[in-house]
Structure 1
């Protein structure tokens, strides 16, 4: 991203690979001029002089700041972020930020509020650099998601290390090495989903599952360990996600832990292993494919995942288990390419032909075959497409098409989120909003983007539907019926309402209770797997009663 000219200081983006067009050329120039003035007021004369010039870099920046109110507002408040790029490349600067985040957690006498402020400031700078590198073409999307994941790892580690040192200072833990607080602490934090796979999106939540070893050397009182580590976890969430005048670091979701409605925030490892062995569901097995120790006692986290291997990767699977794995996504109505896909308002992640269909395409086959073939146990989506093709599970055409569309859809998702730093996956409903996304992605206009977007969705949909075409549709064409996780699926709520249920959310909660094995009759894996197949017919019958 940085280019050194003979006899001159390092400049940046002298030749951006991407050429973006603003929505309004005159407004874009005014916005760039405002940032030029802000740079001058901060005494950043070389930056102000550069921004006042003319060329591809200035045109690119003007377009970016017109298209993204979030990026514009952050740089206007902190033009130093751009100024630093005269002296370092983006890669070097991000490495320096990572080191600064790590150092902040170990600073002598730092308070929780001071750490929160520092994390927010460093994260904001990194966020801007990652976005500009992505939009300029300096970084491919695969690099962007890795950089975002590394940033989340660093922030989580810093907060965890601070909390462990604080607990040690208060005598609640006895760390073997206060200079390396996480080692042998027994506090295990697994990154799940896109964080675990190093595939984080631009404004993503981070999914964490927290366990602890009450017999770890650092634990003073094993009987108090659940309360202690749950309290530390609660503080961790506050450090990361509370909004202050400096913003937030990462919104944090803990709901992928075992039976989140009835378990503490931090769970003893033995209790967790017993849960997964006796009551774990196939969607939880799918989630654990991406699990990765990201902070805390990394060795204990790796040992826990090793102990969990027989649960995740069954060497042999009976018919009921295979049917249940397929049902994870077949409960979502698999369209066979019929009907036009509306671009406006389409959910890039969850909608027809979206990112989740590619992820489930990979994960369902990993669950079925990964027990016999260790090379199919990877966390990252695109490399696993390659392994599936190498083993002959999918064609080279499917591998190439799904890999290409996966990265395209991830770019679209990032553009949607870069506009206002919001955790959304839905394309705008209005003409101007769609035009904004199209131009952020380098398309000439919304019409050209819409054509490419529809083609991508149809291609994903075709490969996905083929994967399940020989299996009966569990939803029986009535719509989504998804009861995984701990959050109501919006389309499932609509399906239940159409079936006649007045309190759809309550029905979701009840059915999740069945699958968590809270009743004796559903405590065996086979019973829960059979229940998955019966649920659509049961709901159709129940919905026709007067008390639905």
Structure 2
């Protein structure tokens, strides 16, 4: 294996020669065959170690037998053997024995990692993973030893002394590089130590034991003796380190993060993972603080927080150093100037360094990871890859960052390998830099500098593109006002300059004057005023370019007034300046969407969603949320903003002409189906905990209406039907038998209920979850009136009762409604039999005497006449109810599907059903094509009017719609003028009404 290695040449050739001689002599004394030490590649390795790293050379001298084994077996086998030895170690040994074993193991594995790194046998990820595994193992051994000692001393009554860590109530969380399994060659380890005092009866005694144990752990890890040390440890990432003991209770830590946690602590906790002690306790803690780490709303304000942190580092590190991002190309082409700039530069904290790349990945994860759990990855490489996959980071940028990160981490390892110092700074002398370049396997310092500096400048520029602070600093706005006062006339001049017409200036001035003070809750912080001050010219210019600038300004004011803190919203606009124009267009064109946004501000996040493969992305995010949430209430709370954002995105895409109504309807329905499915599952899990389960039973959710036909519009209700089934011999739910040996029976809260009561309660709980009120309303409004017997019937109906009703009592219109029935969520077997039931009902096979064609047509005609009488159209633009409108087309499709009495002529979609009816000969080709065109026209018109005006149709388009709204409507309908639209709608209604009269019957 060694001949394939490309070992760095020795920087100090004399030291390399002396080391080689020493090792040959030591090998001879140890009885190692000369062939081992002079095999191909071995001499080059000896020269590399001796001529570049005094630390590694000393490790090789200390254990020449291990070195020989490494030469013979290679790093993979040797590291496996080392970890196998750890697994067999007896942690009940004395403290000195444990300390010696850990120190020897550290040196052995660190040396293997260094050689594998230098020879290119392991990738950077493999090296850092092995070093992290070493730290994990050392902590695990040390904690188990300390727990056993406390047990032997009578200080702890461990639940399982044979496996002391199990349920011990004491856990070590790895943070930072160790948490991400990216440990440096000579890194300290960031730890957080937590314990649960409720696991033991005497909490005060336990506190002293665990605090003392933490101190012993630190000493065991970092105290230096004749064998060296294991790892330097840092406990400063624990909550409020200046005033808390080394070990903190999980209760105190949870309370701290929920109430006082800061942005940098959120970033730190993204990498936390339990590594030693009670791992279950650690996982429960991280699950409890997940909402603190991963915010459900988009939080662009945190970028400024992280930027401020990085700026403070820059001010400390940048003294006397030219800004890397503005470094001229001439410097990068000049080897001498490049070296001069690099001398003493900190590869971790400096410009273009490791920390900046990590900042980019972490910040973008924190912004998006709450809504997209798939983005959460503790490693930097993993985070960059996932950000690219989700469209949050350009692939070209991610590739530059990943290459630079790998390069800098390799360089960091070389710096640390030399003397086992925790350093990140390049040598400060040219001689030192020359030696470092050779250790990096470059021919000389000039070649290294010409390669290193351009890489770092690219990374720095990417960092600045994402983290440049656009807004004014707080000190720049302190004591200043947002806009000049109205009394000096400058506000009017400012507004007119940005396109506000003179007649709107007075009212617009009143809005801006209100923004100057602290009247708005969103503008009570200096930071919010700073952001708004910078954004104001962009906002006014964008609003002034619209048809009604004052309306846009008022609607933005309404949006701002609904914010608890304006920093979040204003930061979002600052980080996404293109969003201002899109919002201005929406405010100008759609009163409905403007009001929707003001009522549901979280919907704005939908405009930041990436378009490619969005349907699958949203479904994946919904499923991730379902896996994370502990209970139904938490799940519903998390789903609301995601649903609002996605609904808004689809509406705006339709408004902007980037999506057809068919595409939007399909995505809305996929969204609703997924939410129905995961909410049903969550409710069932909770219901089972309370009432047990019905053996062989299950409940189906059947969608009807627009949800059933996959034609959901903005703000569509869910027309639902719930059917349950169970074996005839099962009369009640079953609950597991309580564990009588346990102190508290596991199932003491469960109680059995009758099957009908069981599913009725389950149905009520499901509907309650979908319709639960929140600050921005429920997930969906639900309409159950299409169930058997309507509002008078049970909320969930048994399958036999469902079949009996449709055999004996159902009206024709109820069968018509079932043509759009679609089973959304149900157990596999129930879904299968219920599909057969629906087919039988629609085929008329359940009735002794199926209704004749004449009867069906007469019933449909009567039902249409009743609707026209009881629920007449509110205006000619009520395109659903007007005679000749959408209902007429749908009625024709539905009644002819019942006449056809065959699955081949049915489809839940009206347009597809019309095609099947044509193919079967039940509708003539001319009629079918006309009805499909009419259905599409009415559905498109209804959808656009819903976007522009909301659920209530307009009465007079010219009076009720602003000019921008009217333009959107005409463009969507592909017509030139309003008279053209009126004429086309009237002619179409007349012709559809005539076809209805001919195919179904006259509506009296």
Paired position in structure 2 for 1:84:
69
- Number of aligned positions between the proteins: 466
Other structure's SS at 1:215 match: helix
Q: Measure, in 2, the Cα distance between the counterparts of 1:115 and 1:167.
A: 15
Query: 46, 55, 67: which one pairs with 1:61?
Result: 46
Closer, same or farther: CA 268–23 of 1 in aligned 2, 3 Å:
same
Aligned to 2:250: 269
Is the counterpart of residue 18 in structure 1 residue 1 in structure 2? no
Structural mapping, 1:239-388, within 5 Å? 239-317=220-298, 320-321=301-302, 323-333=304-314, 335=323, 337-339=325-327, 342-388=341-387
Match of 2:228, SS? coil
Query: Compared with structure 1, are the counterparts of its residues 470 and 323 closer, same or farther at alpha carbon in structure 2 (3 Å cutoff)?
Result: closer
Q: Which residue number in structure 2 is paired with residue 513 of structure 1?
A: none
Cα 1:337–1:446 change in 2 (3 A) is same
> Displacement, 1:372?
0.5
TM-score calculated relative to the size of structure 2? 0.45
Q: CA–CA distance in 2 between the matches of 1:98 and 1:440?
A: 29
CA drift of 1:527 comes to 10
Determine helix, strand or coil for the equivalent of 2:325: coil
Q: Look up the SS of the partner of 2:267 in the other structure.
A: helix
Secondary structure in 1 matching 2:326: coil
Q: Does residue 116 of the first structure (1) align with residue 102 of the second (2)?
A: no
Corresponding residue for residue 168 of structure 2 = 185
Does the 8 Å CA contact 1:336/1:465 hold for their aligned counterparts?
no
Task: Name the structure 2 match of 1:505.
Answer: none
TM-score where L is the length of structure 1 = 0.80
Shift, 1:183, TM fit: 0.9
Q: Secondary structure at the match of 1:337?
A: helix
CA distance in 1, matches of 2:29, 2:48: 23
Contact 1:324/1:529 (CA < 8 Å) preserved in 2?
Answer: no
Determine helix, strand or coil for the equivalent of 2:415.
helix
CA contact (8 A) 1:130 1:144 kept: yes
- 1:328 deviates by 3.5
- Which residue in 1 is equivalent to 2:433? 434
- Among 180, 191, 198, the alignment partner of 1:215 is 198
Q: Deviations over 1:431-468 (max 9, x none)?
A: 33212221222111111111111112111101101112
- With over 3 angstroms needed to count, the CA separation of the structure-2 counterparts of 1:224 and 1:206, relative to structure 1, is same
SS of 2:198 mapped into structure 1: coil
Deviation of 1:319 (Å): 6.5
Query: 1:475, CA displacement in angstroms?
Result: 9.6
How far does residue 225 in structure 1 lie from its aligned partner after superposition? Answer: 2.2
Q: 1:137 aligns with which of 113, 120, 123?
A: 120
Offset from partner CA, 1:360-414 (integer Å, 9 cap, x none): 0111111111110101221000111011111111100011110111110000000
Greater RCO (CA < 8 Å, at least 6 residues apart): 1
CA RMSD of aligned residues (A): 2.4
Give 1:345 shift: 0.5
Distance in 1, Cα, partners of 2:524 & 2:235: 27
Structure-1 separation of matches of 2:300 and 2:40: 63
Distance 1:336 1:57, change over 3 A: closer
The equivalent residue for 1:156 is 139
| 1:57 to 1:318, Cα distance in 2 relative to 1, 3 A | closer
- State the partner residue of 1:93: 78
Q: 1:105 to 1:437 in 2, by over 3 A?
A: farther
In structure 1, the gaps of 5 or more residues are 4-12, 478-525, 535-548
Residues 54 and 266 (structure 1), Cα distance of their counterparts in 2 relative to 1, 3 Å cut: closer
User: Which of 37, 40, 63 in structure 1 is aligned with 2:25?
Assistant: 37
Quote the offset at 1:253 in angstroms. Answer: 0.5
| 1:58-83 alpha-carbon deviations (Å, 9 max, x no partner) | 12321222111101111112112212
Of 352-361 and 316-325, more deviation after overlay is shown by 316-325
Q: Aligned partners of 2:140 and 2:58: how far apart in 1?
A: 28
Which residue in 2 is equivalent to 1:400?
Answer: 399
Contact 2:346–2:426 (CA under 8 A) maintained in structure 1: yes
> Tell me, what secondary structure is at the counterpart of 2:161?
coil
1:331–1:475 Cα contact (<8 Å) kept: no
Q: Which moved more, 1:170-179 or 1:121-130?
A: 170-179
1:355 positional shift = 0.1
Identify if the C-alpha distance between structure 1 residues 298 and 461 changes in structure 2 by more than 3 Å, giving closer, same or farther.
same
Contact 1:412–1:441 (CA<8 Å) still a contact in 2? yes
Q: CA deviation at 1:221?
A: 1.9
Of stretches 72-81 and 338-347 in structure 1, the one that deviates more from structure 2 is 338-347
Q: 1:86 Cα deviation (Å)?
A: 5.2
Q: Distance in 1 between matches of 2:474 and 2:342?
A: 25
Alpha-carbon distance in structure 1 between the residues aligned to 2:48 and 2:465: 41
User: For residue 28 of structure 1, what is the aligned residue in structure 2?
Assistant: 16
Relative to structure 1, the CA distance from residue 132 to residue 369 in structure 2 (aligned partners, 3 Å threshold; closer, same or farther) is same
In structure 2, how many angstroms separate the alpha carbons of the residues matched to 1:175 and 1:423? 38
1: CA distance, partners of 2:362 / 2:48? 39
Which runs of no fewer than 5 residues in structure 2 stay unpaired? 316-322, 332-337, 477-522, 532-1004
> In 2, are the aligned partners of 1:230 and 1:266 still within 8 Å (CA)?
yes
Q: Give the direction of change, closer, same or farther, for the CA distance of 1:388–1:344 in structure 2 (3 Å limit).
A: same
Compared with structure 1, are the counterparts of its residues 527 and 49 closer, same or farther at alpha carbon in structure 2 (3 Å cutoff)?
Answer: farther
Do the aligned partners of 1:28 and 1:63 also contact (CA within 8 Å) in 2?
A: yes
Are residue 71 (structure 1) and residue 65 (structure 2) matched?
no
The alpha-carbon distance between structure 1 residues 26 and 317, as it changes in their structure 2 partners (threshold 3 A), is: closer
Aligned counterparts of 2:64 and 2:424: Cα–Cα separation in 1: 29
Which runs of 4 or more aligned residues in structure 1 lie more than 6 Å from their structure 2 counterparts after TM superposition? Answer: 526-529
3-state secondary structure, aligned to 2:168: coil
SS for the counterpart of 2:238 is coil
Counterpart for residue 147 of structure 1: 130
- Contact 1:23–1:436 (Cα < 8 Å) also in 2: yes
Which of 183, 190, 193 is matched with 1:200 structurally? 183
Q: Distance in 2 between matches of 1:396 and 1:143?
A: 24
Question: How far did 1:223 drift?
Answer: 2.3
Residues in 1 aligned to 2:136 and 2:15: alpha-carbon distance in whole angstroms: 38
Is the partner of 1:393 in helix, strand or coil? coil
Whole-Å separation in 2 of the counterparts to 1:329 and 1:221: 44
C-alpha separation in 1, matches of 2:217 and 2:524 = 37
CA distance in 2, matches of 1:164, 1:530: 49
| Whole-angstrom CA distance in 2 between matches of 1:475 and 1:81 | 60
Query: What is the distance in 2 between the residues matched to 1:193 and 1:376?
Result: 18
Matched, 1:172 2:160: no
Question: Equivalents in 1 of 2:299, 2:181: separation in Å?
Answer: 32
Distance 1:287 1:263 in 2: 18
The structure with more helix, counted as a fraction of residues: 2
Q: Is the partner of 2:73 in helix, strand or coil?
A: coil
What is the distance in 2 between the residues matched to 1:120 and 1:151? Answer: 11
Counterpart-to-counterpart distance in 2, 1:330 and 1:471: 14
